[in-house]
């Protein structure tokens, strides 16, 4: 019987060792699967939050562009409201967009044209922008909004005046309830948790929610021993809020000071494993009573292993279902750009079937001037790319792709791309750019003559003066006055006078050939022509050309001695040096113009230092 005892002991010992190894292995498998799940969930959530913040920031920048437009302060409230908010799209989860002045008082918001009479100077986002000019986009601590009666997170940018001073703040709010609802839709198990933290440890949103957690700080947790040094990672720790031990994975939200932490509880991760452990323990006890139980229990263990593998396959299928039912396109490519997988959403966006894309290079469907999309290892990751892609009907569709490098353990170097259709946003951006360009052009043009206005002329004069001083080149100025224009207005009427001014403006413009020359309406019936790199002789010849062209046009003027419109022109050219300023060039040309009028009009006079200046009319 001894041999039987030894044989039984040996069999039981071997079985016990085998079972212990199997239990450890399955526990490690469960741990790895849970870690991969938490890492992937944290990435997906971080990408979604990053896109929401980017959309809010685009809206804020659109508002800032509107505020920079000249004369915006002179617009009525309704026009200003349309300028600031008509081009801003509706964004899910985003509350009211607000403009605050330098004192923190609400100027206007996206819901109401008139201000609400509220002051937010005490908010952290206002103080930060007021005290520093280089903050850029700022994400505030969560606060309870008096307007929306909800917990919100502010995304803000500073309004800087043309002189560099603080002009206020533009603010957009992201509702905390929207983030918590997004977290609620994730399958985290019975005891899982997901938290959005700011870099200083402030709790921005949490699910499941805990009373008093919003706005509190968790800076002493295990997370901050790794973050922000590493933007992606995992750790195991017990929650200070509810005491539950969890396996956590975290992902930083793009370049923002935010991090998403997803935690799966040990109770949920190892629930299946604990059942196996109890079963195997029972099998070990039963083995001591009969050998045939060993065979049965081994078969049962193999069945359980198969079930675990099937569970892993189901999890993989579940993630594939998420990808294939997402409105965004999910794609995986090799390092050479060849697509190994693409979700069915490609059919709705570009009209191609997945099998028509898979096995081909991404570059075959992207316009040539936007290649390559994934050029190599020197690029920073993740990357956000905007590019036109070829539709099945041969048209071009604007897409935006968030490109990330997959971990090395995924095998051959591959990239995962989250792609969405941004054609509508691209059209809005192009329309806004065109409108801004048109407004800037209108602000620099005289409405009557279509020449540069006085303000634009002054800016060009200062710029060309500095360049002439730097290059040691002459800068010439013609000041042109329409002779007897007051008498013309009295005789023909102001409307006819305006027509004559337009005609003279066209004559001046037709005499100017060089791209760098500038013609402007200087005021009333006076015009100015600025000529870079032109000496006094060249300026005099051009002035005479303009004067002769005007007289040759035979524009009727019965109150003039010649019966036609004539011009008096003052000419001066200077090489800037020393303490001379641009105003000196204007004074000298004005003195020369006065001399031309005093000598009988209809003539061109260069500046003579012996001439006396004529006081300018108000």
Residue 525 lies in a domain: yes
DSSP string of 284-343? HHHHTT-HHHHHHHHHHHHHHHHHHHHHHHHHHHHHHHHHHT-SSEEEEEETTSBEEEE-
The rounded distance, in Å, linking the Cα atoms of 606 and 319 is 82
CATH of the domain at 357: 3.30.450.20
Clarify whether residues 153 and 217 are in a common domain: yes
- Distance in angstroms (rounded) separating the CA atoms of residues 42 and 259: 9
Q: What is the pLDDT of residue 404?
A: 84
pLDDT in tens, 253-283: 988 899 999 988 888 888 888 887 788 778 7
pLDDT of residue 92: 81
Mean pLDDT of 511-527: 91
Residue 83's pLDDT band (boundaries 50, 70, 90)? confident
Rounded CA-CA distance 162/572 in Å is 32
pLDDT at 170 over 80: yes
Specify if 307 maps to a domain.
no
Question: Which pLDDT score, from 0 to 100, does residue 557 have?
Answer: 84
**CB-CB contact of 158 with 63 (8 Å):** no
Q: Is 29 part of a structural domain of the chain?
A: yes
Higher pLDDT, 428 or 468: 468
Q: What is the pLDDT of residue 130?
A: 93
Q: Is the pLDDT of residue 23 over 80?
A: no
- Residue 433 falls inside a structural domain: no
**pLDDT over threshold 60, residue 613:** no
Q: How many CB atoms lie within 10 A of CB 303?
A: 10
Assess whether pLDDT exceeds 80 at residue 293: no
Max CA distance (Å), the chain: 146
Domain assignment present for 190: yes
Is residue 154 over pLDDT 80? yes
Measured CA distances, 342 to 40, 262, 351, 360, 586 (Å):
18, 26, 13, 11, 67
Q: How many residues does the chain have?
A: 618
Q: Measured between alpha carbons, how far is 311 from 37 in angstroms, rounded to an integer?
A: 13
Which is higher by pLDDT, 291 or 529? 529
With H, G, I as helix, E, B as strand and everything else as coil, classify residue 149: coil
Q: Are both 407 and 487 inside the same structural domain?
A: no
Task: Give me the pLDDT at residue 584, please.
Answer: 93
Residue 411 lies in a domain: yes
362 and 337 in contact (C-beta within 8 Å)? yes
Dump pLDDT digits (tens) for 446-463: 888 889 999 999 999 999
| Residue 585's pLDDT band (cuts 50, 70, 90) | very high
What is the 3 state secondary structure string of 583-596?
Answer: HHHHHHHHHHHHHH
pLDDT, residue 618, reads 24
Segment 457-474 shows an average pLDDT of: 94
More confident residue, 331 or 158: 158
Q: Which strand (E) or helix (H) includes residue 272?
A: helix 271-287
Q: Where are the alpha helices (DSSP H) in 86-201?
A: 124-131, 176-184
496 located within any domain:
yes
Given a cut of 70, whether residue 207 has pLDDT beyond it is: yes
**What was the pLDDT predicted at 473?**
94
Residue 616 predicted with pLDDT over 60: no
Judge if 58 and 120 occupy the same domain: yes
In this prediction, residue 368 carries a pLDDT of 77
Q: Are residues 111 and 204 in the same domain?
A: yes
Whether residue 129 is predicted with pLDDT greater than 90 in this model: the reply is: yes
Residues 411, 467: one domain? no
Same-domain status, 459 and 525? yes
What does the DSSP 8-state code read for residue 142? P
Looking at residue 575, which CATH number applies to its domain?
A: 3.30.70.270
Q: CA 41, 44, 47, 50 torsion: positive or negative? A: negative
| 419 pLDDT higher than 70 | yes
User: Which pLDDT value is given to residue 411?
Assistant: 66
pLDDT of residue 615: 44
Q: Which residue has the higher pLDDT, 298 or 557?
A: 557
* Residue 466's pLDDT band (cuts 50, 70, 90): very high
Contact 480, 567 (CB under 8 A): yes
The total of structural domains in the chain comes to 3
Phi, psi dihedrals of residue 140, rounded to the nearest 5°: -85, 170
Buried b or exposed e, range 449-463, using 16+ CB within 10 angstroms: bebbbeebbbebbee
Residues above pLDDT 90, as percent of the chain: 27
Per-residue pLDDT band at 371 (split at 50, 70, 90) = low
Q: Please check the confidence at residue 519 and state whether its pLDDT lies above 90.
A: yes
Beta bridge partners of 265: 246
pLDDT for 479 equals: 96
Residues 413 and 562 in one domain: no
Residues 239 and 359 in one domain: no
Residue 290 lies inside a defined structural domain of this protein? no
- 146 and 157 Cβ atoms separated by less than 8 Å: no
The whole-number pLDDT of residue 271 equals: 82
Predicted confidence band of residue 415 (pLDDT cuts 50, 70, 90): confident
Could you say which of 421, 453, 469 is where a domain stops?
A: 421
Q: Which of 227, 251, 269 is the last residue of a domain?
A: 269
pLDDT for the residue numbered 617: 36
Comparison of pLDDT for 114 and 417, the residue scoring more: 417
pLDDT at 308 over 60: yes
Residue 410: pLDDT band (50, 70, 90) is: low
Q: Is the confidence at residue 119, as pLDDT, over 80? A: yes
Average pLDDT over the chain, rounded to whole? 83
Per-residue pLDDT band at 91 (split at 50, 70, 90): confident
Residue 569 makes CB contacts below 8 A (sequence gap 6+) with 478, 479, 480, 481, 543, 546, 547, 593, 596, 603, 604, 605
Pair 466, 398 in one domain: no
Task: Give mean pLDDT, residues 94-111.
Answer: 87
Q: What is the mean pLDDT of residues 338-358?
A: 87
Measured CA angle at 95 (ends 92, 96), to 5 deg: 135
Return the ∠ at Cα 85 (arms to 81 and 86), rounded to 5°. Answer: 100
Domain shared by 404 and 458, yes or no: no
Could you tell me where the DSSP H helices lie in 69-175? 77-85, 124-131
CA distance linking residue 101 with residue 566, whole number of Å: 52
Q: Which of 60-69, 214-223, 518-527, 594-603 has the lowest mean pLDDT?
A: 214-223
What tokens were used for 28? 């490690």
- The question of whether 525 is a catalytic residue gets the answer yes
Choosing from 525, 526, 544, 572, the catalytic residue is 525
The range of the structural domain enclosing residue 512 comes to 444-606
Q: Indicate the residue among 229, 246, 269 that finishes a domain.
A: 269
Residues 39 and 137 placed together within one structural domain of the fold: yes
Q: Is residue 115's pLDDT more than 80?
A: no
My answer on whether 547 and 465 are in the same domain is yes
Confidence of residue 163 (pLDDT cuts 50, 70, 90): confident
């Amino acid at each position: 019987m001894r041999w039987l005892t030894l044989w039984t002991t040996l069999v039981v010992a071997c079985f016990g060792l085998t079972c212990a190894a199997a239990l450890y292995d399955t526990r490690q498998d469960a741990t790895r699967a849970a870690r991969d799940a938490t890492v992937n969930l944290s990435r997906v959530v971080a990408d979604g939050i990053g896109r929401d913040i980017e959309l809010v920031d685009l809206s804020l920048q659109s508002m800032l562009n509107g505020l920079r437009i000249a004369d915006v302060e002179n617009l009525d409230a309704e026009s200003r409201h349309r300028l600031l908010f008509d081009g801003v799209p509706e964004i899910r989860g985003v509350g009211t967009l607000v403009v605050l002045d330098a004192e923190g008082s609400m100027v206007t918001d996206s819901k109401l044209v008139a201000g609400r009479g509220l002051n937010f100077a005490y908010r952290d986002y206002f103080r930060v922008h007021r005290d520093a000019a280089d903050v850029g986009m700022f994400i505030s601590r969560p606060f309870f909004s008096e307007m929306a009666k909800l917990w919100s997170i502010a995304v803000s940018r500073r309004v800087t005046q043309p002189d560099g001073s603080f002009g206020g703040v533009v603010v957009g709010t992201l509702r905390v309830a929207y983030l918590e609802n997004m977290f609620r839709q994730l399958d985290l198990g019975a005891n899982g948790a997901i938290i959005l933290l700011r870099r200083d440890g402030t709790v921005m949103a949490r699910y499941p929610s805990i009373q008093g957690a919003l706005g509190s700080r968790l800076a002493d947790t295990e997370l901050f021993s790794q973050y922000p040094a590493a933007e992606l990672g995992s750790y195991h720790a017990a929650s200070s809020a509810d005491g539950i031990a969890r396996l956590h994975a975290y992902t930083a939200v793009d370049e923002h000071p935010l991090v998403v932490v997803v935690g799966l509880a040990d109770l949920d991760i190892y629930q299946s494993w604990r059942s196996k452990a109890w079963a195997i323990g029972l099998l070990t006890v039963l083995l001591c009573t009969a050998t045939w139980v060993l065979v049965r229990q081994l078969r049962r263990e193999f069945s359980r292993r198969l079930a675990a593998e099937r569970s892993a396959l189901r999890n993989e299928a579940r993630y594939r279902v998420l990808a294939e039912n997402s409105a965004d396109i999910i794609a995986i490519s090799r390092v050479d750009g060849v697509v190994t997988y693409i979700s069915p959403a490609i059919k709705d966006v570009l009209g191609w079937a997945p099998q028509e894309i898979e096995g081909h290079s991404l570059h075959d469907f992207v316009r040539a001037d936007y290649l390559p999309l994934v050029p190599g290892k020197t690029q920073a990751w993740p990357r956000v790319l905007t590019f036109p892609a070829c539709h099945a009907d041969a048209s071009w569709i604007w897409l935006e792709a968030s490109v990330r490098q997959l971990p090395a353990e995924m095998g051959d170097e591959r990239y995962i791309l989250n792609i969405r259709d941004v054609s509508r946003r691209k059209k809005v951006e192009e329309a806004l750019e065109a409108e801004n360009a048109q407004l800037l052009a209108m602000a620099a043009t005289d409405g009557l003559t279509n020449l540069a206005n006085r303000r634009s002329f002054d800016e060009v004069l200062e710029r060309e003066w500095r360049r002439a001083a730097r290059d040691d080149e002459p800068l010439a100025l013609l000041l042109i006055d329409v002779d007897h224009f007051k008498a013309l207005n009295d005789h023909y009427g102001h409307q006819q006078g305006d027509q004559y001014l337009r005609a003279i403006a066209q004559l001046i413009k037709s005499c100017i050939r060089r791209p760098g020359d500038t013609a402007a309406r200087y005021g009333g019936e006076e015009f100015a022509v600025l000529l870079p790199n032109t000496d006094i002789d060249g300026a005099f010849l051009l002035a005479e050309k303009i004067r002769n062209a005007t007289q040759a046009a035979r524009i009727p003027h019965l109150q003039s001695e010649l019966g036609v419109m004539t011009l008096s022109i003052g000419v001066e050219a200077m090489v800037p040096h020393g303490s001379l300023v641009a105003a000196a060039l204007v004074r000298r040309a004005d003195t020369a113009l006065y001399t031309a009028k005093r000598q009988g009009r209809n003539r061109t006079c260069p500046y003579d230092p012996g001439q006396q200046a004529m006081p300018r009319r108000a």
